Amino acid sequence: MKHEAMTILGAVAGLAMVFSAARAGPATTQSSDGAVGGSIQGTVTAEGDVPLSEMVVFLESPDPNRSMPPVPTAVKVSQKGAQFAPKMVVVTVGQAVEFPNDEDRPIEHNVFSNSTAKRFDLGVYGPGQSKTIVFDKPGPVVLYCSIHREMDGVVYVSPTPYTSRVENNGHYQIDNVPPGEWVVKTWQRRRRFAEKSIPITVETGQSKTVDLELTRR
Amino acid sequence: MSFRAFLIAAALMIASASLGCQSGPAPGMAAARVNVIAKPKAGVKPTAFAHVPTYDGSPSESVTSSGGGQYARVDYANLSDIIVWLEPTKPFSSSAKPAIEVDVDPKRPDQTVRPVSVGQVVTFHNRSARPLPLYSVSDGNDFELPPIAPGATASFTARSEGLIELLSNPAEPPIAQLYAAPSPFVTRTRSGKSASFNNVPPGPYRVVSWHPRLPSSSTNLDLQQGKVSESTITVGVDAMRQASSR
């Protein structure tokens, strides 16, 4: 009975969050002065056969007071088969993540993280229940279940919504970037190279190519 | 006592403390024994699954479930790679800790986490049959060493607290892992065992634990001259405050 009540409460909270985010509208393609955004694309290259798909390219603003578009709606990271699905997700600061237990058998999980960007413990809960947490600081948040030893995942919290997962061939693309000064940054789930940080200027309506060569130093 | 003799005595003091000698502290010094217990999250049903393999603390590249629909669980009774150190709560000065030697061979990557101290020299001994380039991109401890000839050594100094992943080929997992603690009094243990520190200057300390996966725990311990002070530290998710979720 208690579990059912918690499930209903969780579902109501999740719906309220989705509706709230929907009212905020989609990410704008214009800056605050009405200018149309540009785009950034390029190729990430690195020595060796490193899985590039587990890398993220994102933009950071050198101006901490720069206004950002509304935070996107919550994303879902399921727990099923004693695994997180997806195993890696990229969100924006302020964005929520739902953690439903989708097991089809009575298997409980205890999702937690000990990462600097977000330390949390969602407690133990069973199938049909879900908990949601807001990620309010940028950086990687490594997920574990305290019960199941091979259950791990990661939420990468980007400081801005301007992000791109790197494709297997190394290509990335970030669209609808407001004009102005930005810093292109990289993050690797399994860090094998020094991260990149490249200041750039985005101009209205233009596509800029920024190729990134990852090196050991 | 000459300065050289003082340095040798100080180095021996730290070495014996790190080795956890059980013979009691030297005159004017103190000792500590820290019992380490790892506990599962409160409320977890302990008999829900029959198959409970040992969690070895090393990052797992593969994803599996064991047969019969049972999923591999963390074995808290045998949790390994728990790093424990004594952190002085008052200003403390000590001479440099002796260098630690780490054998490296890409064909035999070390799955454990070795404890080192910030400021300590780590000497890598190439045990493979070919020249071995070594590097790290870990925060605060990044370095790149020129290829080390087979049988030869090369060193770096741990500069910052945290996990140091030693890499050689970027396409492969780390060949060794170190945890640099901000104290010369650091050791590695496992749940159900104790960490011993001998010949430690008396005074107030914070006992701190680190594990690759679980939250750090800490407790205070006052070390008294000539005595072995005992403390217990509990490792587990319950060491962390439960997050308020929606």
Which pLDDT tens digit goes with each residue over B215-224? 999 999 999 9
Least confident of A126-140, B14-28, B100-114: B14-28
Task: Say what the pLDDT of residue B93 is.
Answer: 74
CA closest to A191 among chain B residues: B137
Q: Which of A131, A78, A76 is nearest to A103 (CA)?
A: A78
B156 occurs within a structural domain: yes
Q: Report the residue of A9, A84, A146, A151 to disrupt the B interface, i.e. the one with the largest count of B CBs within 10 Å.
A: A146
The alpha carbon dihedral of B99, B104, B108, B111 has a sign of positive
Contact (Cβ atoms closer than 8 angstroms) between residue B240 and residue B214:
no
Q: What is the mean pLDDT of residues B96-122?
A: 95
Cα dihedral B185/B190/B194/B195 (nearest 10):
-10
Contacts of B55 in chain A (CB under 8 A): 149
Which pLDDT tens digit goes with each residue over A113-168? 999 999 999 999 999 999 999 999 999 999 999 999 889 999 999 999 999 999 99
Domain residue limits at B127: 98-183
B38 occurs within a structural domain: no
Q: What is the mean pLDDT of residues A87-109?
A: 96
pLDDT band at B43 (very low <50, low <70, confident <90, very high): confident
pLDDT band at B128 (very low <50, low <70, confident <90, very high): very high
Looking at the domain A1-29+69-159, which fold is it?
A: Immunoglobulin-like (2.60.40)
Site of tokens 């060193």? B155
Least confident of A22-36, A155-169, B198-212: A22-36
Contacts of B72 in chain A (CB under 8 A): 82, 148-150
Burial of A54 (0-12, 13-18, 19+ CB in 10 A): middle
Q: Are strands A75-76 and A96-100 parallel, antiparallel or unpaired?
A: parallel
Q: Are strands B100-104 and A78-80 parallel, antiparallel or unpaired?
A: unpaired
Average pLDDT, chain B: 84
pLDDT band at A8 (very low <50, low <70, confident <90, very high): very low
Minimal Cα–Cα distance from B219 to chain A, Å? 18
Q: What is the DSSP secondary structure assignment for residue B184, as one 8-state letter?
A: S
Q: Are strands B153-157 and B30-38 parallel, antiparallel or unpaired?
A: unpaired
pLDDT higher than threshold 70 for residue A46: yes
* Residue B240 to residue A121, Cβ atoms within 8 A: yes
Task: Say what the pLDDT of residue A48 is.
Answer: 76
pLDDT higher than threshold 70 for residue A11: no
Which pLDDT tens digit goes with each residue over A164-186? 999 999 999 999 999 999 999 99
pLDDT higher than threshold 50 for residue B50: no
Radius of gyration of chain B (CA): 20
Task: Say what the pLDDT of residue A217 is.
Answer: 84
Task: Say what the pLDDT of residue A53 is.
Answer: 77
Cα dihedral A125/A131/A137/A141 (nearest 10):
40
Q: What is the mean pLDDT of residues B61-86?
A: 75
Which of B135, B169, B213 is closest, CB to CB, to A144?
A: B213
Task: Say what the pLDDT of residue B46 is.
Answer: 61
| CATH number for position B141 | 2.60.40.420
Burial of A87 (0-12, 13-18, 19+ CB in 10 A): middle
The Cα–Cα gap between A52 and A108 comes to 33
DSSP three-state, residue B182: coil
Asked if A110 reaches chain B (Cβ–Cβ under 8 Å), the answer is: yes
Structure tokens, A13: 């909270």
Task: Say what the pLDDT of residue B63 is.
Answer: 38
Q: Which CATH class is domain A31-67+160-217?
A: mainly beta
pLDDT higher than threshold 80 for residue B130: yes
The Cα–Cα gap between B199 and B202 comes to 9
The Cα–Cα gap between A64 and B17 comes to 47
The DSSP element (H or E) to which B66 belongs, if any, is: none
Q: Considering its fold, how many domains does chain B have in total?
A: 1
Task: Say what the pLDDT of residue A34 is.
Answer: 52
Average pLDDT, chain A: 86
The Cα–Cα gap between B226 and A181 comes to 62
Residue A77 identity: V
The Cα–Cα gap between B79 and B38 comes to 7
B175 occurs within a structural domain: yes
Contacts of A194 in chain B (CB under 8 A): 137, 142
pLDDT higher than threshold 90 for residue B56: no
Q: Do domains A1-29+69-159 and A31-67+160-217 have the same CATH topology?
A: yes
For chain A, what are the domain ranges? 1-29+69-159, 31-67+160-217
Backbone torsion region of residue B10, taken as left when φ is above 0, otherwise alpha when ψ lies between -120 and 50, otherwise beta: alpha
Residue A11 identity: A
Task: Say what the pLDDT of residue A35 is.
Answer: 54
Contacts of B168 in chain A (CB under 8 A): none
B37 occurs within a structural domain: no
ipTM above 0.85, yes or no: no
Q: Which of B82, B79, B86, B85 is nearest to B39 (CA)?
A: B79
pLDDT band at A51 (very low <50, low <70, confident <90, very high): confident
Q: Report the residue of B78, B172, B175, B246 to disrupt the A interface, i.e. the one with the largest count of A CBs within 10 Å.
A: B246
Minimal Cα–Cα distance from B57 to chain A, Å? 9
pLDDT higher than threshold 70 for residue B129: yes
B114 occurs within a structural domain: yes
Q: Which of A54, A97, A90, A2 is nearest to A192 (CA)?
A: A54
pLDDT band at A212 (very low <50, low <70, confident <90, very high): very high
The Cα–Cα gap between B235 and A86 comes to 28
Task: Say what the pLDDT of residue B65 is.
Answer: 43
B49 occurs within a structural domain: no
Task: Say what the pLDDT of residue A130 is.
Answer: 98
Task: Say what the pLDDT of residue A96 is.
Answer: 98
pLDDT band at A50 (very low <50, low <70, confident <90, very high): confident
B230 occurs within a structural domain: no
